[in-house]
Structures are given as structure tokens and as C-alpha cells.
Structure 1
Amino acid sequence: MSKFPIALTGCIGAIVLVLTGCAGDRPVDAKATALATAGLETVSVQLNWYPEVEHGGVYQAMVDGGYRDAEIEMTIRPGGRETPVAPELLLGRSQFAITNADDVVLFRKEGADIVAVLAAVQDHPRCLLVRADSGVEGFDDLAGMTLQCQPGRAFLPFLRQRGYLEGVREVPYFNSIAAMVNDPKTMVQAYSVAEPLIARQQGLEVRTLMVSELGWNPYSSVLVTTGELIRKSPELVRKVVRATQEGWVDYLDSPDRANEVILKANGHSMTPEALKFGSEELRPLVYGGIRAIDQVTDAQRNSLGQMTQERWQRLLDQMSELKLIEDGSITPKDCFTNEFLP
């Protein structure tokens, strides 16, 4: 569903400073010792939101035993409204996390050495959700509407700069489409893999305006880790990346088993119908518009997660233009690597 802003304030900078001089002794972890004896390395991945289809590949790799086959004992840590992804990584409470490409850029702006190692979703599911009877056919028709949105997300200044939010009243969003039920002139920030179904289940005919079609299209469901872990334990990173990549391929082919686990882990009014809808809507965002499983080629499956310098450079240029980062302060090489992918 719609993701809330991730904490990026001075706490990241403070953590970066503290980590330079506070290793200290740690108590012996009996479970970790037992797993090490069994030849398994304990690893955790921090999600950026409550468990949903955007994390499907991670859950599939756990359900299918992909992480265990890679000699990894994986713990999945659910996120929430303001999950501190960067601090969790910097403090070592998790070795990996799921986030969005634009968040990686903002983490690096704050001095956090965080690197993307796999990008599952190539076309971002961010959209504006409007009622079909609102009179809105596209982004040029938004004047006079009220937008429920959460500040801090980079797509908002992108829309403002291009004039799409002129004459639009912006109000806080509380992860609910309830206001749309009573007011056809209210729209909400949304993910195309979730809220459209929720709206239809409440009797609303809706239209999704995909922000990616305007050119704002950062990678989503991005697996990240720290530059330090890449330098110190490249084989561990490789094993986690490969298992996660295989998990995503299997999830998009057959998501039912992983969705059962996601449903139990979510705990926030998630339904089997919503997960089924979401996993079906996610497939074309991963595979370049292809929805039918039998039309996905082996080459597309094998290349799942790959990123390009051009895409990252475009994102950096856009964020510089929006004054979210200083021009030239961050490079694509800082943000991502494909070296651990098949």
C-alpha cells in the first residue's frame, strides 16, 4: 500500500558518527552459536512497510527454503509507518533491507553508505487514485481536487514542479480511502497493487493515474545493504542476493504459498483477495508490462533485479532538479551494483 516517509533526519548522521567509536563487547547469542555450528549464517532483512506483495520475493525465498539452501538463516523484520531503514542497517540490527531507489539516494545524502544490490520492481507502483465519477481523466484534470498525501515523498515535489498540483488542495493521508467514499473530489496517493481493489470492494469505480508514466520512475522493492558488508562479506551478499532473486522469480510464477505467510505476518486488515490481486498486478511492473505467466521468457526471469546506470543517473538528475540533493554530489556508482546478480 502507500508507503509513509522513511526517517531521514539528523539521526542518520548521528549514527554514522557514533559507529566510528562504539563497538563494545556483545553478549553471546546461544541461537546464533547453534546455527553457526549447523553451518548456517544468521541474517535479517528489514522491510520498509508492513508485509505485502512488494516483499513477496523475500517471503518466497524463506518459504521455499532458498535461504536455507544458501546456508542462510533469514529473519524477516516487518516494517511500519515510519520504519528507520537506514538506522537499522547502520546499527547492524539488520544486514539487508527493502526500500525504494529514491530513498537510497536520500540515505546517501545523509552520509549513510547504503547500496542497492537488486531491484525487483522496474516500474514503480506509485499512483494517484481517483473516483471514476470525479471528472478526472488524467493528470491535467486535477485542479479543484483534494489530494490526501504524506509529505516527504519525492514524487510530490516532482508533480508540483511540473504544475500538476496547481489548484489542488493537499491534506494529510492516514492510509485509508474512506474520504473518497463520501467525496468524488477527493483522491489519495496509492500503490496500484493495493488500493484500487480496496476501493472496488467498497463499491467505488476508480481510475489509477500512474506517476511513472510522467517520467518519475525510481526502482521499487529494492534490496539494499551497506557498503561495509559488501567489502567485508561479499560472498554472504552474493548468497542473499541470488536466493532473493530466485525467490522473486518463483513468487511471480506462483505466489500462493508466500502469500499465506505474508497474510499471517501483515496483521493490518490484509485479505487473501488483496494479496492475489497485488501479486497479479505486480508481475507487469517487474516484467515490462507482461501479465501472463506463460509469456514471461527465461531471459526475463534470469535478468530480474538488474539495474542500469542510465536509470540511476536519470533519478539523480531529477532529484537534483527538485533540490533534494546537490548536483553531482552522488553518482550512480555510489548507489548500486549488479555484481552479485546472476
Structure 2
Amino acid sequence: MTKKRTRAAVLLTAGTLAVGLAACTTPADDAADALGAVDQGDGTAAARYSTPLADVCPSTVSVQWNWWPQADHGWTYQLIGDAGVVDAEKYTYRGPLGSTGIDLEIRAGGPATGGQLPLAQMYSDDSITFGITTTEDSIGGSEEFPTVSVFTYAVKTPLVFFWGNEDWDFQNLTEVKQSGETVLAWEGAPYLDVLTSLDLLNPEQIDASYRGDPARFVLEEGSVLQQGLLTSEVYKYEHDIPAWGKPVEFVSIGDEYDAYTSQVSIRADQLEPLRPCLEKLVPLFQQAAVDYAHDPAPTNAVLLDVVDQLTGSGWELTPGIVEWASTIAVEEGIVANGTDGVFGSFDIDRVQEYIEIVAPLLSQRGQKVAPGLTADDFVTNEFLDPEITL
């Protein structure tokens, strides 16, 4: 089981992790040994990410995220460091992508784009190079908005069910099901259909009235299992929600739910035109993500500054939450090497098995799943550098 840890224990583990990572090397390390630990200050992105891209990539590569800037997005900000500029009206952060000769534009999503899915946005805005998608998005949009995912930052979802009842000690989703306790979740979330179809939850115990408000959790003194993110709510309920203000326990959904939630995708019709770019750019994505995991603090400072400049967004980050999120994601295996040992890779068999489970469910919801869809249609590891590992 994935259990709640105290923040002190997490940070102690993070220190141990940093020592271990410092002893590891990747292909980019050989050219950057003189830098020592990754320090995302002035000039470091330029020194760290230097593969020439101007002849093979668009002059500006854009990445459309699916939410406001947060630690999950840190690897993209790592590529710019503090050399970028915020456009508070467009909710973007733009700057030189290292010293590659091109620019990177990072676009906020979710409420910033009226809730549009990045895969749909890519088909309405040709200036978007990459969109962040989930496996459900890719399957459900495969006929209308076909995409190909070339890199994944996380190998499992940070989704959890958390609670505050000290008498509960759930070890896995099967125990949650057997308890019959109420599970408070977002209405229409596809993962709920998957969990019930796998007999990991009873439909009768799901209350789909959750809207992100902590009121019910507090009112019932934590005696409800509530949907949340390990990288967000598990920290916030202890530190940022005074009405609760104490630790919660959790069980990981990602341990038993095989969707990828941070797929870096392109339009399927752009695979061949972008191939020369992808061959050189995707390894930089891998390297930046590994570097961010190694030393997230400098880029977390950039994230905090960017969010501070997005006045009017209503979105907030704190030093505590970005530190927690970037640390716990690695500790709990949300951010990790793929099953082949390569950072950023997809397990093709896992994706194929997931298609067989979720495609019928999404079709029942009216989503347009391409007939005969296979994993090879929308995920690929061909552009990854197999030597880049965490």
C-alpha cells in the first residue's frame, strides 16, 4: 500500500534520493560535469540543453498543458529556467529552450483555456506543437483527434483516495470496496468506470457529488474516502486548509489503475513532418525531467514566480506544495523509469490491455474511439534515448 508519510520523513527520503541521483550520470552529464548539481540559474539551461534544433524544429515549440502551472509541469520550465517571460493575458511562459536556437512556449490549461482538452486544441490551433494528454483522452479522441504520444513524464497517476478517520487502515482498493464506505469523487471521471468494471469498487459506494470543496470532509470528520491527488490534496489538507489542519491517510489508485496521465503528444498527422525534430528534442525532454527530479528547487522557484505573475487567474502555489509535490512524486514512484528502464517510456503491453478495458466504456459514453485502435497507433518509444534513466 501507498501510505501517508509525515512531511519530515518525505524530506529525509528526498535527501537520500538526491545523494543517490548525484552519483548517477546520463549522456548529458558527460558534457556538463563541471556544472556539478543542476542549478537552474542564469545560463544553466543554455549550458545543459544545447542540442542544435533550429534546422529541424519550429522556431517556437509550444507545449499546451491541461492545468495551471504546478510541480507536475516543472520539467518543461526546467528547459527555460529563469530566462523566460510571462504573458499574464495569454497565461504563457516563453523563453529560449536552453541554447538550442529555438524558443519554448509553455501554455497553461484547464480554466485558462475554458476547460478544453489539449488534444482538441492542437487540432484548432496549428501553433501548438505538443499537448499533454491522458490515456483516456488519447483513446476517447482517437477517431476525431488522433494523437501520438512520444514521451511520458509520469508512469502512474497521482490519484488517491484519502481519509481522516483514525480507525481506518485500508491497504488497497479491494479493502476499500469490502468496507462499503462512501467514496466521494468527481461525477463522470472515467477511472471510476474502470475501477468498477475491474470489480475494485462497488458502484453503490460512489458518491459523485464532489466538487473540490473540503466542507463535507471536514463536517464528517474525515470519515469519507475522498478523491484527490497525492501531489496536491494530501499536502494541502494538512498544511493549507485550516479547517482540517492535520495529516490524512491515503491509498494509491495508480497502483491498480494503468492509465498514463502526462503523455506528451503531437497530432498524428504531424508525426512525419516533426520526425527530425522529435529525434533531437525528445531526449532533451527526458534529460530535463531527470534533472528536475534531481534538483527541483531552482525550477520550483521559477514556477512560484510565474504563478505570482498570473494575476487574476485565482491559482495559487506555495513553496511547501511545490517542494512536497516534486519530492513525493519520485518517492512514491509516480515519476520513475519505465518497465524497460528508460525514463519517459511507455509499456506498450500495458497500454494495449488498458485499451481493451476502457475503449468499450468510453464508447458507451459516446466518445469516438477509432475502430481497431491499438497501442502502437498512439504511443511510441522510438524517439527516446535509452541511456537516459532516473
TM-score normalised to structure 1 length: 0.77
Contact conserved, 1:40 with 1:71, CA < 8 A, in 2?
no
Q: Is the 8 A contact 2:258 2:351 kept in 1?
A: no
Q: Secondary structure at the match of 1:68?
A: coil
1:240 and 2:278 matched: no
Choose from 357, 361, 379 the match for 1:318.
Answer: 357
Query: Where does residue 65 of structure 2 map in the other structure?
Result: 47
Q: 2:324 aligns with which of 257, 277, 296?
A: 277
CA contact (8 A) 1:70 1:243 kept: no
Is residue 65–residue 131 contact of structure 2 (8 Å, CA) maintained in 1?
yes
1:107 aligns with 2:141: yes
Distance in 2 (alpha carbons) for counterparts of 1:208 and 1:221 = 22
Shift, 1:163, TM fit: 5.3
Q: Percent identity?
A: 23
Q: Does 1:255 align with 2:301?
A: no
Task: Kindly provide the amino acid, as one letter, of the partner of residue 129 in structure 2.
Answer: Q
> How far did residue 195 of structure 1 move?
0.9
> For structure 1, which segment, 319-328 or 217-226, has the greater mean C-alpha deviation from structure 2 after superposition?
319-328
Match of 2:77 in 1: 59
Task: Read off the aligned partner of 2:97 and give its amino acid letter.
Answer: Y
**Contact kept? 1:53, 1:279, Cα under 8 Å:** yes
SS at match of 2:265: strand
**Cα shift readout 1:260-319 (whole Å, capped 9, x = no counterpart):** 222233452221100100001111322269xxxxxxxxx95xx21011221211211221
- Structure 1 residue 228 displacement after superposition: 2.0
Q: State yes or no: 1:340 paired with 2:383.
A: yes
C-alpha distance in structure 1 between counterparts of 2:359 and 2:200, whole Å:
18
Q: How does 1:195-214 map to 2 (within 5 A)?
A: 195-201=233-239, 202-214=244-256
Q: Answer yes or no: is 1:72 the counterpart of 2:72.
A: no
CA distance in structure 1 between the aligned counterparts of 2:127 and 2:213, rounded to whole angstroms: 31
Aligned to 1:152: 188
Q: Is the 8 A contact 2:151 2:282 kept in 1?
A: yes
**Structure 2 gaps, min length 5:** 1-53, 84-95, 308-313, 386-390
Name which of 270, 279, 287 aligns with 2:336. 287
Which position in structure 1 is the counterpart of 2:7?
none
Could you say if the C-alpha distance between residues 69 and 128 of structure 1 is closer, same or farther in structure 2, counting changes exceeding 3 Å? same
Does 1:168 pair with 2:205?
Answer: yes
Letter in 2 for 1:339: E
> Per-residue deviation at 1:259?
1.0
Give the C-alpha shift of residue 132 in structure 1.
3.5
Query: How far 1:128 sits from its partner (Å)?
Result: 1.2
Please give the alpha-carbon distance, in whole angstroms, between the structure 2 residues aligned to 1:99 and 1:172: 25
Letter in 1 for 2:217: M
**Equivalent residues of 2:182, 2:205 under 8 A apart:** yes
Return the letter of the residue paired with 1:156.
Answer: L
Contact 1:320/1:327, CA 8 A, preserved across alignment: no
Cα deviation, residue 133, structure 1: 2.9
Whether contact under 8 Å (2:82, 2:302) holds in the other structure is no
Contact residue 140 and residue 359 of structure 2 kept, 8 A: no
Kept after mapping to 2: 8 A contact 1:46/1:94: yes
Native 8 Å contact 1:130 1:136 kept in 2: no
Deviation for aligned residue 1:69: 2.5
The count of corresponding residues between Structure 1 and Structure 2 is 293
What is the TM-score normalised by the length of structure 2?
A: 0.68
**Residue 345 of structure 2: aligned partner:** 306
1:230 maps to which of 271, 289, 294 = 271
Which has the larger displacement, 314-323 or 217-226? Answer: 314-323
Contact 2:139 2:369 in 1 (8 A): no
**Deviation of residue 73 (structure 1)?**
0.5
| SS of equivalent to 1:127 | strand
AA in 2 matched with 1:104: S
1:80-104 Cα shifts (integer Å, max 9, x gaps): 2423312221121411012222221
User: How has the CA–CA distance of structure 1 residues 178 and 240 changed in structure 2, closer, same or farther, with 3 Å as cutoff?
Assistant: farther
2:110 aligns to what SS in structure 1? coil
